[in-house]
Structure 1
């Protein structure tokens, strides 16, 4: 009776190489197709901005591709699992390995190890590349594909209330006293919350006593006139610290920065269930790649000549795609407080790990 978790060194390398080649091939195919489709839908808006050309299209591709890689890497692992195991089954290699005394878990061990390496890469890639690309792309889109502020610390869709007034900005770049707002709109309202004035400015800076609107335009509702007042300070009670915690994009922050944002929101008495769930999902999300060999293992076992190989492959794909649906649903429910954040992020992984193990044991023979 073999007690080794892995098969022989040669067989482990053979299975791992076949698996990783298929992962990269499937991922490349998906990314190329999806990137082309995405670019076709967005290129018109990018080129419509003054001064944009081919260089800006390539910039968009460089920022969008990391998001696509992060999003579809687990799907690639699932499809590569199905292709690898179905091929091994079709060529009777699984039968040969089982005849040599290998168990189902030993056959899958090299694939799980490879998937674990992919999960580690996915986590590091998300934290170091995807978050920065997402922050820059989001700021660029909110700037209507014009010039992007030269900083990676950019928040978008800022919206804060001060008494009867409202401060809105498309972007907020920088931190502390050096924060700069872009695409600023300042709404003045009467005590009945009826709009009286609307101020617009392309840029606003923090003076220590409020936000200085540079070259503003003012529209007075009561007399329906537009004028150009001098630079004016507004929003005296809205500080950069409040803006920093008013708009937190979990996808644009790494796990350490997001933890700090959550702590700041909790200190301010804000609700953080959604961000807590996203924080835990930054860990459980990349781990989903490790789950795919187990869910797709149903395609490896059973005689190919029985005519059920295609059915088994479909079952494996169905289990994998069902996991992604349940994972997203649990995350959404957790954001509304239906589940504790850690449960909404990690429960689908544990549930489908048990399901995959049960299916493997039931279908091995």
Structure 2
């Protein structure tokens, strides 16, 4: 607020109108998404007796920050459209432009405000959303699925996999793995009973996962009160799948913007594919540009609305369709990036860059064309 007081009167007024519009849209979308999450978790909890309404509301609250994080482009788009529509229909923009203020002088504070919102989101609010997402994943896994496995990776201790079964639990340690998570180098398997009593230890040259089994090569088995056994090959049953191992290695959404670079480096040192995490980090970096482009996109629909009275609903419908088109294209491009078909930087930055250039070109056409 102190910074706003130092700005020119018109700039302060424009920013205030934009923030009010974005705040209103944020409140409405939050209410809608919270209701949807509660309904979804009620459906999921229908067959679980120990999950009550209080826990369902807790699930929805923990998941809300990550859900809203994906909707911020819509918040800025619709907030910008609300603010610019009001200013256009009240002829305030006409008066400002008659006084010699160009359209770019009007849009610049709004664009910069959107970029600042994006910077705050990725540096301040994203760590909170990541922490709550991690809590949600742990709680949902325990309540809905039961704790079947736990997978962690550390620069100092390597890769650890813990799997719980009816007989007890099994802990697997390895210093590196393949990028697909299907093979481990120099793994050690520890087997314990349900009472945490030691059963056996297996040291192997390598372990390969296939068809719910670990196939060990050159294994050495150590058990209590028995001589060591050496086996050229050995099969160890498991419930883990390749997808579970990859997905359990701290999903990108559960890591904050500040933690991602170090974790990406750690995954790559451990032999895992960090493509999804690198794509997510670059997508966060592009968020300020994406939000700024949403303001420009809103302006292309609403800046000259005063000469087209009676079509407000049509304009908002067109803006909504444009927003969904951008959302769809972003998902498609990121899917190609996750699959390795596109470079990570290109997949993460293309939607924001293309939207920005398209909106700027449209504004030049409306003003000077």
TM tier, smaller: 0.7 to 0.9
CA distance 1:359–1:207, shift in 2 (3 Å):
closer
Q: 1:344 aligns with which of 337, 343, 347?
A: 347
Q: 1:232 aligns with which of 182, 191, 199?
A: 199
CA distance 1:25–1:302, shift in 2 (3 Å):
closer
What runs of 5+ residues in structure 1 fail to find an aligned partner? 1-7, 149-168, 186-199, 217-228
Instruction: Give SS of 1:210's match.
Output: strand
Question: Aligned equivalents of 2:317 and 2:302: distance in 1?
Answer: 12
CA distance 1:105–1:326, shift in 2 (3 Å):
same
Question: Aligned equivalents of 2:56 and 2:248: distance in 1?
Answer: 31
Question: Aligned equivalents of 2:336 and 2:248: distance in 1?
Answer: 22
Question: Aligned equivalents of 1:115 and 1:210: distance in 2?
Answer: 52
Match of 2:299 in 1: 297
Question: Aligned equivalents of 1:342 and 1:41: distance in 2?
Answer: 34
Match of 2:191 in 1: 212
Deviation at residue 25 of structure 1 after TM alignment: 1.3
1:247 paired with 2:246, answer no
CA offset digits 1:146-188 (Å, max 9, x no partner):
898xxxxxxxxxxxxxxxxxxxx43336967699866525xxx
Match of 1:317 in 2: 320
Alignment TM-score, normalising by the size of structure 1: 0.73
Instruction: Give SS of 1:144's match.
Output: helix
Match of 2:228 in 1: none
1:184 paired with 2:183, answer no
Instruction: Give SS of 1:94's match.
Output: helix
Question: Aligned equivalents of 1:321 and 1:44: distance in 2?
Answer: 27
RMSD: 3.5
Question: Aligned equivalents of 1:234 and 1:350: distance in 2?
Answer: 54
1:260 paired with 2:259, answer no
CA distance 1:181–1:334, shift in 2 (3 Å):
closer
CA distance 1:303–1:273, shift in 2 (3 Å):
closer
What runs of 5+ residues in structure 2 fail to find an aligned partner? 1-6, 175-187, 208-244
Of 290-299 and 260-269, more deviation after overlay is shown by: 260-269
Asked if structure 2 preserves the Cα contact closer than 8 Å seen for 1:181 and 1:203, the reply is: no
Deviation at residue 294 of structure 1 after TM alignment: 0.6
Instruction: Give SS of 1:172's match.
Output: strand
Match of 2:69 in 1: 70
Asked if structure 2 preserves the Cα contact closer than 8 Å seen for 1:301 and 1:364, the reply is: no
Question: Aligned equivalents of 2:313 and 2:127: distance in 1?
Answer: 39
CA distance 1:171–1:318, shift in 2 (3 Å):
same
Deviation at residue 248 of structure 1 after TM alignment: 4.0
Deviation at residue 103 of structure 1 after TM alignment: 0.9
Asked if structure 2 preserves the Cα contact closer than 8 Å seen for 1:82 and 1:317, the reply is: no
Alignment TM-score, normalising by the size of structure 2: 0.72
Instruction: Give SS of 2:286's match.
Output: helix
Instruction: Give SS of 1:171's match.
Output: strand
Match of 2:287 in 1: 285
Question: Aligned equivalents of 1:337 and 1:304: distance in 2?
Answer: 47
Instruction: Give SS of 2:259's match.
Output: helix
